[in-house]
Amino acid sequence: MKQYHVCVVGIGAVGTEMVRLLKLRKFPMKSLTILARSERVEMIDGEPVQVKVASPEAFDGMDFAFFAGTEGAKGASQTLGWEAVKRGCVVIDNGDDFRMDERVPLVIPEINGDALKRHQGFIANPNCSTIIALMPLAPLHRAARIKRIIASTYQAVSGTGAPAVKELENQVRAWAHHEPLKPEVYPHQIAFNVLPAVGSFKDDSGESTEEIKMRKETHKILGDAAIRVGNTCVRVPVINGHSISMNVEFEKPLSPEEAREILARSPGVDVVDDPKHAVYPMPLNASGKYDVQVGRIRKDQSADNGLVLWCSGDNIWKGAAQNAIQIAEALIQAG
């Protein structure tokens, strides 16, 4: 098997998992280079990792570059992404800077892998919540065509990055010791609380940037701008693993039983649906798993041809690092 020169740009929460997953999934690497703003040594799983300075010249000879920028992070792919492409490197970007760019395919391999045929050297990873929602929704859309989605997300603090995870842990310890809980990463206490605001509010629509992303990215990935999407994105005091509640209205009738059969055959989806025996998707169980779990599948009593679903997925794996690596794997497989 051919082997490739690979680099990961950024070594935060997503970049670290990219390094782990490249090894875990036995990606055919001839070399692995870690790039960031400054040269230093980082520790990953107890082993020292050399980090080099990200510069245009660093992409010379590279085959794949995974830009690990977390949601809202600016800079690396804007500054270096297309420069890497010019040097013959395929860029797979986890950031949001180019997702809606017409030149750039926005890809979940199990759903719209054919879009990779049109890439110009630069491919975008969708938003973590969009990926987790669409893994079960796309197969159902193909079967009965979705008309409307109403979603509420329950997003883990790892989606904000390592400092947010530390903040939640510190606040829980402070609460246990009857000490003040200091918010720094978030505007309010996150421990034992929920924050109905993920992303920022840049206009007068009342929607957050995260909510806008889910709508626009759903349209682009499914290739159907007629789908009506309403959602509320919420940060919850969970370390890792996003969950989403979805009320979905279809053009054609689709029973819960038919939906379960379709989803059971869908790659990357794990049907976990026996609520009478307390079996349903949970972030605790979905964290560290490749597949997105879906359950609580039932008829939506408020709409004709409607279903209600609940899903959980690892926002750092399938929602970010894993999906990016799967894109590269699909490119290799396609030759």
Distance CA 297, CA 272 (A): 9
Of 7, 119, 242, 311, which residue is the catalytic one? Answer: 242
Of 128, 141, 233, 311, which residue is the catalytic one? Answer: 128
Give catalytic status of residue 277 as yes or no: no
Contacts of 187 (CB under 8 A, 6+ apart): 195
In which order are the strands placed within the sheet that holds 228-235? 228-235, 146-155, 242-250, 306-313, 292-299, 269-271
CB count within 10 Å of CB 187 equals 9
Give catalytic status of residue 128 as yes or no: yes
**306-313/242-250 β-pairing:** antiparallel
**269-271/146-155 β-pairing:** unpaired
Q: Which residues are catalytic?
A: 128, 242
